[in-house]
Structure 1
Amino acid sequence: MNRYIVSCLGSRERYGIPVALYKSGMLDSFHTDIYVPQIISHISKNVSLPSSFKALLQRNNPELPFQYVDQQFLLGLEFRRRVRRAKSLKERQDLLAHYGAIFAKKVGASINGEKNLIAFTGAALESFLRVKDLGGKAILDQVDPGLLEWERIKNERDMYPGWEIGQDDPPWSYDFEDRVWRELELADEVIVNSQYSKKSLEFWGSKQSIKVVPIASSVQRMKKQNINIRRPLRVLFFGALCLRKGVHYALEAFQILKQKGVEIEMKMAGELYISTEKLRCYSGVTYLGTVASSEVPALFDNTDVMIFPTLSDGFGMVQVESMSRGVPVISSSFCAEIVSHNENGFVLDEVTAEGIAYFIERYSDDRKLLEVHSSAAFDASEKYSVQNYQGLIRELFD
């Protein structure tokens, strides 16, 4: 049986790949920056702590034993602190290139003999060089759609000046672009999580074998019991509050509906990358800040509809998390094809405030439609179960 080392800077996909390989008996070791023992995470759930700190303390997976983990804890803390302060795409990419190189070099130094390695974009290069020198196999998990996505962000920033801090910086880091290219060239295989990402890499010019493996939701599935019949419609925007995620269109949609007298409540949760002055312009919107993973199910349980007007996302896990709790999604077409239009949500062919407002108003006016889509969303989420994902990983790597 093949065995694999997995290397991951951050908590990508809630550690889905190392967990799947461990449960299949194929995991050699898992290298990461921060991985907190389960007992500490369990205790922190019942302690009053800032959401960002509580989220950090839940960096683990109960199905992955701690003894399989080799972590670079101090590097992870420094990397996390600086990334949280970064406001521009270029700044975040430069930080990932810098810390990713340090991380990958240490991972590479720990590898002896012919080993197979799965590593993630930006933190793979030096460890790939080591693995290839030793005759092993290098597999890259491509995190985002790359150049196509960065160009979309640049165009949006040009159209909406003053929304994001750091908009005067270069649109993306050309050093990071070079690093990603070198990782792609070294990789024997590339994994992506959606057809959208695959098409984006092919647009970029990648010639490697690209395999699509949709990722799983870590949120426990639970069908919504009480559909909102008479109360104002509760709408959630969940994810980084930035131009790439379409936060500006969501806010403008709320303003349109408010002016029309449509009764809705809008909450936003996630890292804030837009100017606070812009956010304050939209009175009536509640900003919750970052949300720890343990608090995500309750967040969806108090939501009727989630909006995900992203301009580009390799996958868009929040769609699956939302549907896992019976919450239909108004999504865009620039991500994984998870939502089926007018079956378990709505899909925007083009992201506009008017389009978002139109579909929100349909749910507000027709609560029976909301109920039908809620049930269908829950049913569709079964496809993205952990069991199905682990089966795909076993099939791919065994």
Structure 2
Amino acid sequence: MAEKLPEWIVCQIGAREHYGIARALRRAGCLSGVLTDFWLPPGSMVGSMPGAARLRDRYHRDLDASKVYAPNLRMLGFEGVLRIRSLSGWDGIIKRNHLFQQEALKRLRKWRAPMSGGQTPTLFSYSYAALELFREVKDWGWRTVLGQIDPGPGEDAIVQNLRAAHPEWAEGIEHSPPESYWQDWREECGLADRIMVNSEWSRKLLVAEGIDREKLEVLPLAYDVGRASNCGSHPTFQKKSQLRVLFLGQAIVRKGIQDLVAAARLLTEAPIQIDIVGPHGVLPSGLPSNLVFHGAVPRSEAAQWYQQSDLFVLPTHSDGFALTQLEAMAQGVPVIATPCCGDVVVEGVNGWVVPAGNAQVLAERLRQIAQSPDMLESMRKAAMATAEGFGLERVAQALTQVGTEVVI
């Protein structure tokens, strides 16, 4: 007996947005299937295998009642082969994307069946791992929605320029994909009925690349405030204390690590410590002492870093959204960001906006905050209120609206 075709099927590699799209659709009552690379419910055999610790976050209890399929063993074997053959970087990413799509198509073919009421199903898949899926399901008459995870080749051009300008960071973990990667992406965009971007910044860069403006819809990322523990429980910062500033993410030029280092050099006499939490390449020599690099941490430990910080800083040159803004605000931590990401920060209300690439302005803002701690205290409640406004319900409403508007 054929399995009942869902109204929406979500395909995704990894736990992006904590499965936010799938969870929003489930709440709206129109999700019946999720295809992902790893899914490890409590007690999963794969989760107990050696080397699988980093995969144990690949589960969300909100989807317990939904149909979720993941080729765990097939993908785990692939990851093992990558490690044995020392394949990394874009070669490994492209091969992973291809394998996942092949495995997802096998399952989609089993799920394919007429829908009750004659409704046309919608397949949602994230960029760079959607082309093979879209090619096939378009032949079935399905709707296709592409979740664009970043600002595309325009962002890559920004990164190339930054790496050339800051060679001390150029040997890190940030490299450009081959041209074939962008060619496939353009075909994905052509096959998509709608393309969901997470910010006006992303839409601007995609339009500049010639992507059809009529296809683009801005859908900010969602954050479930209920996930944040001990919101706003960190000690009150006082002028006589040391200001704890947090940067959480990859320490790369796109995220503005070079600007944060330059700002830190201007603040060596100020009572400020900047904690860099996230993966990084070989660090340049001569870094200022008020910067501390802690390396990567599991997602489950991120909340602890927010809770012990007074301020979150994101000097990014380009981000599709930057969910860390909401993660910080959910903990009552105001944010310094740039205009090159999701529109979360309201100047002087829940944080500050500084120009990308301007270390002098960033340093001056940090100095002002250290000298006037009451600026932070008045923003904590506003920050938490901002995070509460980015819930899954808004995402569900936007997606279901898109589903009714798309015409094949």
TM range (shorter): 0.7 to 0.9
Amino acid at match of 1:122: Y
Equivalences, count: 383
2:93 aligns with 96
The counterpart of 1:333, out of the listed 326, 339, 353, is 339
1:380 aligns with 386
- Classify the secondary structure of the residue corresponding to 1:182: helix
Q: Give the distance between the partners of 1:27 and 1:54, measured in 2 at CA.
A: 29
CA apart distance, 1:337: 1.2
Q: Give the distance between the partners of 1:82 and 1:13, measured in 2 at CA.
A: 27
Q: How do 1:58-73 residues align onto structure 2 when only pairs under 5 Å count?
A: 58-65=57-64, 68-73=67-72
Q: Give the distance between the partners of 1:80 and 1:358, measured in 2 at CA.
A: 45
Q: Are the counterparts in 2 of residues 97 and 179 from structure 1 also a CA contact under 8 Å?
A: no
Q: Are the counterparts in 2 of residues 75 and 99 from structure 1 also a CA contact under 8 Å?
A: no
Deviations 1:38-75 (Å, cap 9, x if unpaired)? 4569x99xxxxx9x965431122110117621112245
2:131 aligns with 125
Q: Are the counterparts in 2 of residues 93 and 176 from structure 1 also a CA contact under 8 Å?
A: no
Q: 1:280 to 1:388 in 2, by over 3 A?
A: farther
1:9 aligns with 13
Q: Are the counterparts in 2 of residues 94 and 175 from structure 1 also a CA contact under 8 Å?
A: no
Q: How do 1:344-359 residues align onto structure 2 when only pairs under 5 Å count?
A: 344-359=350-365
TM-score (norm 2): 0.85
Q: Are the counterparts in 2 of residues 13 and 215 from structure 1 also a CA contact under 8 Å?
A: yes
- Classify the secondary structure of the residue corresponding to 1:257: coil
- Classify the secondary structure of the residue corresponding to 1:288: strand
Q: Give the distance between the partners of 1:329 and 1:140, measured in 2 at CA.
A: 29
Q: Give the distance between the partners of 2:244 and 2:260, measured in 1 at CA.
A: 14
Does residue 181 of structure 1 match 2:186? yes
- Classify the secondary structure of the residue corresponding to 1:144: coil
CA apart distance, 1:340: 1.0
- Classify the secondary structure of the residue corresponding to 1:162: helix
How much is the aligned-residue C-alpha RMSD, in angstroms? 3.0
CA apart distance, 1:108: 2.0
1:393 aligns with 399
Amino acid at match of 2:122: N
Q: Give the distance between the partners of 1:84 and 1:236, measured in 2 at CA.
A: 32
CA apart distance, 1:2: 7.1
Q: 1:385 to 1:280 in 2, by over 3 A?
A: farther
Deviations 1:90-130 (Å, cap 9, x if unpaired)? x7444332221221122123223464211011111111111
Q: Are the counterparts in 2 of residues 37 and 66 from structure 1 also a CA contact under 8 Å?
A: no
Q: Are the counterparts in 1 of residues 11 and 124 from structure 2 also a CA contact under 8 Å?
A: yes
> Where do 5+ consecutive residues of structure 1 fail to align?
45-49, 86-90
Does residue 275 of structure 1 match 2:272? no
Q: Are the counterparts in 2 of residues 79 and 95 from structure 1 also a CA contact under 8 Å?
A: no
Q: Give the distance between the partners of 2:323 and 2:71, measured in 1 at CA.
A: 26
The counterpart of 1:264, out of the listed 265, 272, 275, is 272
Q: Are the counterparts in 2 of residues 108 and 131 from structure 1 also a CA contact under 8 Å?
A: no
CA apart distance, 1:354: 1.4
**57-66 vs 366-375, greater mean Cα deviation:** 57-66
Q: Are the counterparts in 1 of residues 234 and 307 from structure 2 also a CA contact under 8 Å?
A: no
> Where do 5+ consecutive residues of structure 2 fail to align?
115-120
TM-score (norm 1): 0.87
Q: 1:333 to 1:177 in 2, by over 3 A?
A: same
2:242 aligns with 232
